[in-house]
Structure 1
Amino acid sequence: MGETRVAPGTSSSDHHHGESETAIYVVSGHPEFVYAEESGGEPREKRVKAGPGDYVYVPPYVAHREENPDPDEEAVVVIARSTQEPVVVNLQSLFAADSESST
C-alpha cells in the first residue's frame, strides 16, 4: 500500500498488473482511468473519471492506464495491491494481446 502523486498533464503507459488486484483511493485531484472494452465486437476505450473520495478497482490482468488531464493540479492516490510484488507489465496498447516487458 502506498501513496502516489500524479503530475499534472501526465499519463502512464498502457499496462496491467498480472495476477494482482489493485484498489485505488483518490485523495485529491481528478485522475482518469482508461480501460480496454469490447462493444459490439469492436474494441474501444472506456474512461472512468474520479475525484476525491472515490475508489477505483482494477481486476487482475486488465489492461489500463492512468491519466491526470488537469494541466495545473496533481492527483494524489493511495494504491493497495493483493500481491507483495509491484508487478507492471507494459503493453504496446490497451488492445495488445502480448506484453512488451515487465518490471
Structure 2
Amino acid sequence: MPFPGRYLSKMASLIPLIEDILPMILPASVAVTKAADILPPDTQAGGDGDRPEVRIIRRNAVIDKTDKMCTSILIVKPNSSSTVHHHGEQETIIYTVSGQGSLLSQPKGDDEEPERHELGPGDFAFIPAWTEHQAVNNSETDFHLVIIRTGGRPVEVDLTGWGGPQVEDVAKR
C-alpha cells in the first residue's frame, strides 16, 4: 500500500488542473448588467435648490462574478474631480467612454506636481497597484470612464491629498 502522504501530495497537485478544466466541463452563464441599472437619471441639480448637485458618480457594473476582475463606471461632472485615491493591491485599467479629462498620478517628489495624462474617448490608462491618482474634468461636459480592476470587488481608498492619510469614512460611524 502506498504511503498516504504521497497519495495526498499527488491529489493536491491535481487541484490546479481541476480548477482549469472544470469551467470547460460545467456550463456557465453570461452575466449582463444593463446601463439602466447602472447609470442614474440626470443628476444635475435643477433650479429648485433643494438638493446639492452631484459632482462624482460611481456605480458598480460587474462585481462578485469572479475573484479575478470587476468593473465599475465613474462619471466626473463638469469642472469637478474625484478625490486623490488608490485601489490598494488592485491593478486598474481605465477606458474613456466620452468626454475629455485628465488623470493625475502621484508626484515623484514632495515638491513636484502630479503627472497629468490627458484622456479622451477611446483612450486607455493602466494604473499599477497602490498608485495614487485623481480624475479631473475641467470641461463643460461629463467625463465618463469604465474602470476595470483585478479582484472581485472594487477597492477605493480615498486620501486627504497626495501622500496623505486615508479619509475617514463618515458612513462607518
What TM-score do you get using the length of structure 2 for normalisation? 0.52
1:43 matched to 2:43: no
Please show how residues 1-103 of structure 1 align to structure 2 within 5 Å.
1-38=71-108, 42-70=111-139, 72-96=140-164, 98-101=165-168
Percent identity among equivalent residues?
31
CA drift at 1:85: 2.0
Q: Is the 8 A contact 2:72 2:148 kept in 1?
A: yes
Q: Is the 8 A contact 1:91 1:99 kept in 2?
A: yes
How many equivalent pairs are there? 100
- Structure showing greater Rg: 2
- Which runs of structure 1 show a deviation greater than 6 angstroms over 4 or more consecutive aligned residues? none
Name the one with the larger strand percent: 1
State the TM-score, normalizing by the size of structure 1.
0.84
> Aligned Cα RMSD in Å?
2.0
C-alpha deviation, 1:101, in angstroms: 4.1
CA gap of 1:80–1:44, structure 2 versus 1, over 3 A, is same
Counterpart amino acid of residue 112 in structure 2: P
Q: Which runs of 5+ in 2 are unaligned?
A: 1-70
SS in 2 for 1:37: coil
Work out whether residues 76 and 82 of structure 2, in 8 Å CA contact, stay in contact via their aligned partners in 1: no
Tell me the distance in 2 between the aligned counterparts of 1:58 and 1:27: 17
Unaligned 5+ runs, structure 1: none
Q: Deviations over 1:40-74 (max 9, x none)?
A: x743311111001100111100011111111x210
Bigger RCO of structures 1 and 2 (CA < 8 A, at least 6 apart): 1
Is the contact between residue 86 and residue 133 of structure 2 (CA under 8 Å) also seen in structure 1?
yes
The letter of the residue matching 1:99 is: Q
Higher share of residues assigned helix: 2
